[in-house]
Structure 1
Amino acid sequence: MDVSLAQFVAQVVSNPILAVTVLLTLGVIFVNGWTDAPNAIATAVTTRSINIRPAIIMSAVFNFLGVLLMTMINSSVASTISNMVDFGADTQMALVALCAALFSIVVYSVGASIFGIPTSESHSLIAGLTGAALAVQGGLDGVNGQEWIKVIYGLVLSLALGFALGWGICKALTIICANMDRRRTNKAFKYAQIFGAAAMSFMHGAQDGQKFIGVLLLGVAFCNGQPDLVNAAIPIWLMMLCSITMGVGTSVGGEKIIKSVGMDMVKLETFQGFSADLAGAVCILLSTLTGIPVSTTHTKTSAIMGVGAVKRLSAINFSVVKDMMLTWVFTFPGCGLISFVMAKVFMMVF
């Protein structure tokens, strides 16, 4: 399937359900840039390496570049998302169910962001798609187990590898810089952390941008009567559309989330913030190259906990960690159930 921009616009104008699907997808991408992307710059802001407004602008730019460049190099995450569920042979009903899934994601994500709680847009997306597919197929036939298991791999990878890399990098820097002039190292790590925040923003765009590109392509395929994305090519204009939308969402801000992730969990110095950013970026890069969907929030939070553990375990505010973990645990059943119910309602209405 190869879709030109002119063909896409014509389909959106002529098919109201596809138009709603596209608007909802762009809405979810915007919300992702607004609520999830601030995790990438949280530590750099809270260690005062960069002010919040320049940090948000920088993050928006690198989110844009991450979506655009990494999708051109390796689009395996987009393929994983689109192949994770099976909406059945009735592509009209599949498109309606996809609308319901996206609607439920927006409702769930905005509700959580109002309270300043970091949400996992990745898990919201996966839960929403899964709930809708189960509603359409009436059972587990709507889930591709071989692809869905990558979600579990991603959960383990983001938690275990994020923590281990955060601890390892921070421990190594502590040993290397033990006898160095503290003022000089602080100045160097201030700039290093800006680089780390840019790298995290780039990888956030690379990972999450591909997920939503896969959803948009799935909607176009359903509109064309295709139940899957076999031999689908990702056009440049679609990469641009997703990356611009995410960049605009990031520019809106996310001060509550920056405070929750960067300050409330553990107090960080500049070299520790750099360690967390570098660990998170490396973990997300490995996941993206292997086609495993991971959560930026999961990865960054785990890396920060690993860094905090170098000091001492008591340096971590476990009440904040507990709140975040509960949020993640509720995402799959919560968003999945909303999506299941909304899919049933949408299919009856349309």
Structure 2
Amino acid sequence: MSYSAKKPTLDKDLEKLTGIEAAASLQSRRLFAPALALVFLFVAMIIASFYVTGGMGNTIIIAAAGIGAYLAINIGANDVANNVGPAVGSKALSIGGALIIAAIFESAGALIAGGDVVGTVSKGIIDPSRVASSEVFVNLMLAALISSALWVNLATWIGAPVSTTHAVVGGVTGSGIAAAGFAAVSWGTMGNIAASWVISPFLGGVIAALFLAFIKTFIIYQDDKVAAARRWVPMLIAIMTGAFSAYLAVKGLKKIVKIDLEAAILIGLGMAAAAYFITRPLIRKQSEGMENRNQSIRKLFRAPLIFSAALLSFAHGANDVANAIGPLAAIVHAIEFGEIASKVAIPLWVMLIGAFGISFGLLLFGPKLIRMVGEKITKLNPMRAYCVALSAAITVIVASGLGLPVSSTHIAVGAVFGVGFFREWYTKNSKRREAYVQKSTGVESFKKPEKSSKNRMLVRRASFMTIIAAWIITVPATALLSAAVFALLNAFVG
């Protein structure tokens, strides 16, 4: 009689236990980020409790601090992807490196240049004088905080980068209408914001496409790519340096020093000239011994991309931290002083909640949207990602000069779309590309791609439609949600 050492029942039980342990481990990893986020919300509420003492109003401040922290986390999870996504998608930065750089510079931008005064009614869309009392105003702002946070959370979950500025605007509009009627809304301001839905991505896409066309014409489809790169890359880096210098002067350093647009442009021109003369010998040295092919030339754009990701994050922290803490600062002021002010000072503890909340949201939940922007819309390499980053800075400068309210999210994502759609058009229609391929392959008659290849789409349409739909409904969705939340707060809080 043979004896088998194998015990089928025991083996099956062990396999089941192993499967259960693996599932439990996966589930625990999924719950880790939400658990940390919840801890941060409680910490924010504890911090607020040190600055308030007793009373129903102060209880509301503590609750509002938790909601403001929740919104800040969602802004970090959704909005910051636009700054570092192209660098990650082009492989210039790893996802870990991007998270670290963005977290550091977002916090620095918020704390150093985030502004010590913020508008209480989000860009003047609601007339405070029409709000009946400070109690009603507090409920209005609470509803705006809750609705915008929930909407940005939903957008992040479905993988759609949306404008958090528009979410807050929609929230304030909806609760403002519920509190004081349609007459309280500045519809001219709302019209400008609605116009920016089209203007922001269109400008971003066109500028990014123009720079990509320049790179293709003067570098990529040249016989001697290395010589062309030595000639033009320092110029492109100079343009980027000048654009970012002007961008930071106009949008990122308002708290430290007030600089008008004309002075910012002069600063940008000076920095561009300095960058050109500094980088020209560096690019020549870096390009020595390079192979005459696109993969080699792309290496020259990696350092500028990392630089741009850091500066975009700094400027974003300086500007968009107000989306998280503006309503919270307004609530604190209204409860402490019993009045509704058009502008209020930002307490340091409120600024800390906004700054660190954005960084926590980025570190815990940011990778999903970073990959969406950098990898799932269209294929990016360092040269294409450079065009996206440069477009973001230039578009903000142009829009500031024209007085147009634009969304940094819409600009950056529109630039990614612009790069992808331009590549589709260029592949099908460029005579220069056709002549270059014919010459480099030695084929007498360059054969046009077959119909299936010619119509190959380089922008993922599903992502395009999801993002556009999310953009269109952000303001009305948050407005309706905010009006409903305001009604509930009025009924139960008073």
| Shorter-normalised TM range | 0.7 to 0.9
- What is the aligned counterpart of 2:475 among 320, 332, 335? 332
Distance 1:234 1:292 in 2: 26
- For residue 101 of structure 1, what is the aligned residue in structure 2? 144
Letter in 1 for 2:303: Y
281-290 or 112-121, which moves further after superposition?
281-290
Q: Structure 1 stretches of 5 or more lacking a match?
A: 1-5
Task: Say if 1:229 and 1:269 are closer, same or farther in 2 by CA, change over 3 A.
Answer: same
Distance 1:291 1:344 in 2: 35
- What is the aligned counterpart of 2:341 among 228, 231, 236? 228
Letter in 1 for 2:144: A
Letter in 2 for 1:84: I
Letter in 2 for 1:254: G
Q: Tell me the SS of whatever aligns to 1:81.
A: coil
Q: Given that residues 20 and 99 in structure 1 are in contact (C-alpha distance below 8 angstroms), is that contact kept between their aligned partners in structure 2? A: no
Q: Given that residues 64 and 205 in structure 1 are in contact (C-alpha distance below 8 angstroms), is that contact kept between their aligned partners in structure 2? A: yes
Q: Given that residues 200 and 278 in structure 1 are in contact (C-alpha distance below 8 angstroms), is that contact kept between their aligned partners in structure 2? A: no
TM superposition shift of 1:46: 1.7
Q: Tell me the SS of whatever aligns to 1:83.
A: coil
- For residue 378 of structure 2, what is the aligned residue in structure 1? 266
Letter in 2 for 1:319: A
Kindly report which structure 2 residues correspond to 1:80-99, keeping only aligned pairs within 5 A, or say none: 81=122, 83-86=124-127, 88-99=131-142
Kindly report which structure 2 residues correspond to 1:110-259, keeping only aligned pairs within 5 A, or say none: 110-137=153-180, 139-178=181-220, 179=222, 180-181=225-226, 182-223=294-335, 224-230=337-343, 232-234=344-346, 238-259=350-371
306-315 or 327-336, which moves further after superposition?
306-315
Letter in 2 for 1:340: A
- For residue 260 of structure 2, what is the aligned residue in structure 1? none
Distance 1:136 1:213 in 2: 21
- What is the aligned counterpart of 2:422 among 310, 314, 330? 310
- What is the aligned counterpart of 1:40 among 59, 83, 92? 83
TM superposition shift of 1:291: 7.7
- For residue 9 of structure 2, what is the aligned residue in structure 1? none
Kindly report which structure 2 residues correspond to 1:1-40, keeping only aligned pairs within 5 A, or say none: 10-11=51-52, 14=55, 15-40=58-83
Deviation per residue, 1:29-77 (Å, 9 max, x gap): 111002221232112112211110111111111212232344349x7x8
Deviation per residue, 1:136-190 (Å, 9 max, x gap): 11x2123123443442343243122211221122222223323323344211112
TM superposition shift of 1:124: 1.4
Deviation per residue, 1:226-259 (Å, 9 max, x gap): 22224x4445554444222212221214222222
Q: Structure 2 stretches of 5 or more lacking a match?
A: 1-46, 227-293, 426-456
TM superposition shift of 1:274: 1.2
Q: Does 1:321 align with 2:464?
A: yes
CA RMSD between the two structures: 2.8
Task: Say if 1:228 and 1:113 are closer, same or farther in 2 by CA, change over 3 A.
Answer: same
Letter in 2 for 1:62: F
Distance 2:66 2:173 in 1: 20
Task: Say if 1:241 and 1:154 are closer, same or farther in 2 by CA, change over 3 A.
Answer: same
Q: Give 1 or 2 for the bigger CA radius of gyration.
A: 2
Distance 2:120 2:418 in 1: 31
Give the TM-score taking structure 2 as reference length. Answer: 0.63
- For residue 54 of structure 1, what is the aligned residue in structure 2? 97
Quick one: percent identity of the two aligned structures?
24
Structure showing greater relative contact order (alpha-carbon pairs closer than 8 Å, 6 or more residues apart): 1
TM superposition shift of 1:82: 5.1
**Total equivalences in the alignment:** 341
Deviation per residue, 1:112-141 (Å, 9 max, x gap): 32232323322211111111111111x212
